[in-house]
Amino acid sequence: MNLVLDPLGYTFFVRALAASVIVGLVCATVGSYMVLRGMAFMGDALSHSAFPGVVAAYLLRVPFYFGASIAAVGTALAIGWVTRQGKLRSDTATGVLFAAMFALGVFMFSLIPNYVGDLFGFLFGEVLGIGLGDLVSLAILAGLVLGTLALLWKELLYATFDPLGAAASGLPVVRLDYLLLALIALTIVISLQSVGIILVVAMLVTPAATAQLISKSFGRLVLIAGTIGTLCPIVGLYCSFWLNSASGATVVLVESSVFLVVLTVTMVVARFRHPSVAPAA
Amino acid sequence: MRGSFGRWPLSATADRSPHGAEVALGASAGGPMEAVGAPSPAIRLVGVTAGYGDRVALEHVDLEIPVGALVAVVGPNGGGKSTLLKLIAGVLKPWTGSVEVLGAAAGREAHRVAYVPQAELVDWSFPVNVWNVAMMGRYPRLGPLRQPGRADREAVAAALERVGMLDRARSPIGALSGGQRRRAFLARAMAAEVDLYLLDEPVTGVDVPTQEAIMELLSAEAEKGKAVVATTHDLGAAVKHFKSIVAVNRRIVAAGPAALLTNPDILSQTYGGHLLVLGENLGILDDSHHHDDPAGTERHFHDDQRGGRS
């Protein structure tokens, strides 16, 4: 019995592995911008707002990507717009809108005569059941997100670091903000099947947060986050296969463990470098 | 008094509500104002009122700043210094009136404008080094499809050389002193090869040698025919290093040569009760640590490494 090779004999495992790696990479890349902008809460909010879209798509028998994209991108733009009116803080606008959207999803769900197991998959993720068609859609959407970031990485970086300076020098900062929101929403849609609505935020934020502890340049941050985001799903999926545990949660726990280890190591190293806080004369 | 060059000190002090008075600044080296028919100004504000939400920050501003000017914008906190800068930068739209910059509506010639934010508004833990920051100055001219090339690297290296930060190019911005941080941002502005510099508090809280070095660079840029507009809390620095000043307190109180700031009437009109005039050109401000016009989208970070501020 081979712990590594045996699972690869199953088509569903190979598909799940491909989906998880793509999802991990896209989440970590988009998440790098999110942690620098303090948008972790926004990630959580947008994933919850995709729920009514998923339920609607189920009821209308259309691919869930359509419903989830419309709901998440729509909510992202609505949050951006409400915040820009200046009457409410952005986290307030976010809290109100995402809770309403999630409630709408639960409401619609409760009206379905016979509760369906599929939809629970969207709450907690069920990557092992991903079909070939879904995998292809996922890969295309992932390519779209990563391609956009490849084109606009430096504009987004400037607008993240110094929005005023970037706007004054002519970068369309407001449009870039909306674009990033849309990219986050799309990334969440891509991730729904793998990790589910509740846990997507971990996939987005944890790799980048880990990378932030040990990188001093943006390039390194994205590289390290991307590596963590790609490797952790592989480890997590194997663990899930052998332990027969929930795949999404296992992947998230692997990422969280890496974060914890890196955090501990950096704290120990810092302690060694600056053994005491004795005031220098 | 409209447009009465040469008499502005009187107009600014005698008229207690000088809005509507056309104020303009001379570009000549601290000397008397030049004639009215000067070449088209770098900046022209006409009848501008602006603010945030429903709060007015500046009203009835008429102001002209010529090409080659080296101008300090002074005034109390919340007096509209940063607002004036943002209007000129085109990142804040006026409620009324018009803002013309480099011959076009504000924001139109943005690639010829560099804006350096207050140090307090910068996230110094952001994972970028000095080189990265200076390179950002090149991004707007590159556009989304092009990556930085040789010309960009040369421009960045030259700018870092000028501000004396080339040997710190690989340092993370968080590891720099307050003065080095300002110089890194100044390098970004210089790498952008612009015609107008807008700087929010470029010399606040930095040591005197760095202050002098920064002002020397800005002065050289002004002499090359570029316009430099900087806000400052430091009246001493304004008098010493700038050729002209604009004193704002919700409106333009005075505009003209830097020596205007030795006029106690102008000082008391600008600062109201916040300023204690001690002598001919010495005043004490009691509001050294507040933030101008914090907009909802701005982040607020303190520069812990700079140590105490007076």
More confident position, B275 or B26: B275
User: Contact, B170 vs B131, CB < 8 A?
Assistant: yes
Interface of B with A in 91-120 (CB under 8 A): 91, 107, 110-111, 113-117
Burial class (CB in 10 A: 0-12, 13-18, 19+), B5: middle
Output the pLDDT for position A90: 82
The nearest CA of chain B is from the CA of A213 a distance in Å of 10
Burial class (CB in 10 A: 0-12, 13-18, 19+), B242: buried
Query: Choosing among B52, B91, B190, B300, which should be mutated to test the A contact, i.e. which has the most A CBs within 10 A?
Result: B91
The nearest CA of chain B is from the CA of A155 a distance in Å of 7
Token output for A166: 């970037």
Output the pLDDT for position B180: 93
Predicted ipTM of the assembly: 0.85
**Chain A partners of B122 at a C-beta cutoff of 8 Å?**
161-162
- In 10 A of CB A62, how many CB atoms? 11
Output the pLDDT for position B173: 94
B51 in contact with A, Cβ within 8 Å: no
The nearest CA of chain B is from the CA of A221 a distance in Å of 8
Instruction: Check whether A123 has a pLDDT greater than 50.
Output: yes
Q: CB contacts < 8 Å between A and B, how many?
A: 97
More confident position, B162 or A130: B162
pLDDT bin (cut points 50, 70, 90) of residue B138 is very high
What's the CA gap between A240 and A244, in Å, rounded? 5
Question: Of A40-49, A63-72, A164-173, A266-275, which range is least confident?
Answer: A266-275
pLDDT bin (cut points 50, 70, 90) of residue B308 is very low
Question: Of A109-113, A171-175, B164-168, which range is least confident?
Answer: A109-113
Q: Do A155 and B139 touch (CB under 8 A)?
A: yes
Output the pLDDT for position B19: 40
Instruction: Kindly state whether residue B301 falls inside one of the protein's structural domains.
Output: yes
Query: Choosing among B84, B125, B130, B139, which should be mutated to test the A contact, i.e. which has the most A CBs within 10 A?
Result: B139
What's the CA gap between B116 and B130, in Å, rounded? 14
Half-sphere CA count of A86, side-chain side, radius 13 A: 9
pLDDT bin (cut points 50, 70, 90) of residue B239 is confident
H/E segment holding residue A60: helix A51-60
Q: At what angle do helices A90-111 and A40-49 cross, to 10 degrees?
A: 20
Instruction: Check whether B22 has a pLDDT greater than 80.
Output: no
Instruction: Kindly state whether residue B180 falls inside one of the protein's structural domains.
Output: yes
Instruction: Check whether A36 has a pLDDT greater than 80.
Output: yes
Q: What are phi and psi of A75, to 5 degrees?
A: -65, -40
Closest partner residue to A169 among B122, B129, B192, by Cβ?
B192
The nearest CA of chain B is from the CA of A35 a distance in Å of 10
pLDDT bin (cut points 50, 70, 90) of residue B263 is confident
**Chain A partners of B192 at a C-beta cutoff of 8 Å?**
169
Its sign, for the CA torsion B159, B162, B168, B172, is negative
Question: Helix, strand, or coil here: B38?
Answer: coil
**Average pLDDT rounded to a whole number, residues A84-107:** 87
Please state the CATH superfamily assignment of the domain spanning residues A6-273 in this structure.
ABC transporter involved in vitamin B12 uptake, BtuC (1.10.3470.10)
B307 in contact with A, Cβ within 8 Å: no
Output the pLDDT for position B299: 43
Strand B227-231 versus strand B70-74 pairing type? parallel
The nearest CA of chain A is from the CA of B93 a distance in Å of 12
Give residue-wise pLDDT tens across range B38-74. Answer: 567 899 999 999 998 888 999 999 999 999 999 999 9
Token output for B37: 């028919």
Q: Do A36 and B129 touch (CB under 8 A)?
A: no
**Chain A partners of B198 at a C-beta cutoff of 8 Å?**
168
Instruction: Check whether B303 has a pLDDT greater than 80.
Output: no
Look at chain B and report how many structural domains it folds into.
1
Token output for B227: 């316009």
Strand B113-116 versus strand B196-200 pairing type? parallel
Question: Of B22-31, B52-61, B177-186, B215-224, which range is least confident?
Answer: B22-31
Q: Kindly give, in sequence order, each residue whose CB lies less than 8 Å from that of residue A40, ignoring residues fewer than 6 positions away.
A: A34, A201, A204, A205
Closest partner residue to B111 among A157, A165, A169, by Cβ?
A169
Instruction: Kindly state whether residue B35 falls inside one of the protein's structural domains.
Output: no
Output the pLDDT for position B268: 83
Closest partner residue to A158 among B139, B198, B297, by Cβ?
B139
The angle subtended at Cα A96 by Cα A90 and Cα A102, nearest 5°, is 125
CATH of the domain at B77: 3.40.50.300
Residue-range definition of the domain harbouring residue B203:
72-91+110-306
Q: Do A86 and B116 touch (CB under 8 A)?
A: no
**Chain B partners of A38 at a C-beta cutoff of 8 Å?**
299
The nearest CA of chain A is from the CA of B32 a distance in Å of 32
What's the CA gap between B178 and B162, in Å, rounded? 18
